[in-house]
């Protein structure tokens, strides 16, 4: 196993890795469930697995759709699949705008500040610029990212390999770093670790215990930590 200090840049997934998107999504859906006396009717796992299916299908079908609009589009499908009344257009739009309110994991900001002393930090996110901007101004306020790339910029959603190829092109042109100096740092096996392995990028799996979305039967990674703070600890220990 090579050293974490051999790398120069961390390419981060945000939602699921730095932001607790599962809690954020369910919290945003909770108002609708409560209105229909269904708050305790479905398990967390059941709700998220249905959401995940619709999200992946919509991203594949409309890769150029803004993520906030994508959430708005799948909100009524999610409700219908659960056997609940269709939400109003306003309720679906409100759900689509909820991204910036999704909470950060408690260790994210501190760990990112520590890691930024050793690495360039890059975002490679499936979320649109406006929603991500709200997150950076809110839950992740105080953290500086050197480069930000979104699905809106790239016109495609991870796990499309094009997103990773474009990221590597930007890293090469802006910093002169090679693929061998980049670590994809993420929770989702589906969105990040599988495509990273296919394109030859080493990866760090931030497992985030209890996560449901993005899991695969086979787990692929080069390093594994339960939390991002554990990775920061490991880097500082090597230093």
6-57 pLDDT, tens per residue?
Answer: 999 999 999 999 999 999 999 999 999 999 999 999 999 999 999 999 999 9
Active site residues: 13
- Position 1 scores a pLDDT of 62
Q: Mean pLDDT score of the chain, rounded to an integer?
A: 97
219 pLDDT more than 90:
yes
Give the residue-averaged pLDDT of 143-160.
98
Triad 136, 141, 147: Cα angle to 5°: 45
Q: Provide mean pLDDT across the span 145-157.
A: 98
Q: Tell me the pTM.
A: 0.96
Between CA 60 and CA 16 the distance in angstroms is 19
Which DSSP string do the residues of the chain spell out, in sequence order? ---GGG--EEEE--BTTTB-HHHHHHHHHHHHHHHTT-TTTS-HHHHHHHHHHHHHHHHHH-TTS-HHHHHHHHHHHHHHHTT-PPPPHHHHHHHHT-GGGSPBPTTHHHHHHHHTTTSEEEEEESS-HHHHHHHHHTTTTT---SEEEEHHHHTS-TT-HHHHHHHHHHHHHHH---GGGEEEEES-IIIIIHHHHHHT-EEEEE--TT--TT--SS---SEEESSHHHHHHHHHHH-
* Structure-block tokens of residue 171: 């890293």
Residue-wise pLDDT for 158-184, tens only, equals 999 999 999 999 999 999 999 999 999
- The token pair that represents 136 in the structure block: 């950076």
Binning pLDDT at 50, 70 and 90, where does residue 102 land? very high
Closest CA relative to residue 59, chosen from 15, 26, 28, 91 = 15
pLDDT for residue 205: 98
Domains along the sequence of the chain with CATH: 4-20+103-238 (3.40.50.1000), 21-101 (1.10.150.750)
**For residue 126, what pLDDT is reported?**
98
- 2 pLDDT band, cuts 50/70/90, is confident
Confidence of residue 60 (pLDDT cuts 50, 70, 90): very high
pLDDT in tens, 87-100: 999 999 999 999 99
Arithmetic mean of pLDDT, 223-236: 98
């Amino acid at each position: 196993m090579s050293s974490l200090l051999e790398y120069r840049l961390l390419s981060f997934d945000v939602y699921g890795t730095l932001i607790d998107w599962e809690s954020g999504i369910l919290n945003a859906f909770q108002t609708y469930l409560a209105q229909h006396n269904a708050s305790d009717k479905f398990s967390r796992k059941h709700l998220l697995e249905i959401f995940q299916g619709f999200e992946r299908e919509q991203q594949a079908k409309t890769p150029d759709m803004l993520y906030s609009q994508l959430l708005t589009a799948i909100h009524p499908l999610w409700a219908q699949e659960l056997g609940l009344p269709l939400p109003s257009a306003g309720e679906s739009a409100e759900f689509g705008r909820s991204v910036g309110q999704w909470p950060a994991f408690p260790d994210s900001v501190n760990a990112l500040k520590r890691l930024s002393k050793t690495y360039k930090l890059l975002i490679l996110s499936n979320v649109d610029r406006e929603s991500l901007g709200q997150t950076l101004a809110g839950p992740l306020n105080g953290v500086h990212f050197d480069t930000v790339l979104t699905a809106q910029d790239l016109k495609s959603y991870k796990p499309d390999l094009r997103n990773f190829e474009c990221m590597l092109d930007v890293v090469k042109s802006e910093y002169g770093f090679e693929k061998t100096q980049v670590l994809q740092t993420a929770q989702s096996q589906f969105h990040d670790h599988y495509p990273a392995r296919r394109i030859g990028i080493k990866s760090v799996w931030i497992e985030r215990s209890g996560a449901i979305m993005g899991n695969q039967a086979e787990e692929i990674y080069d390093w594994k930590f339960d939390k991002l703070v554990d990775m920061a600890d490991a880097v500082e220990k090597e230093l």
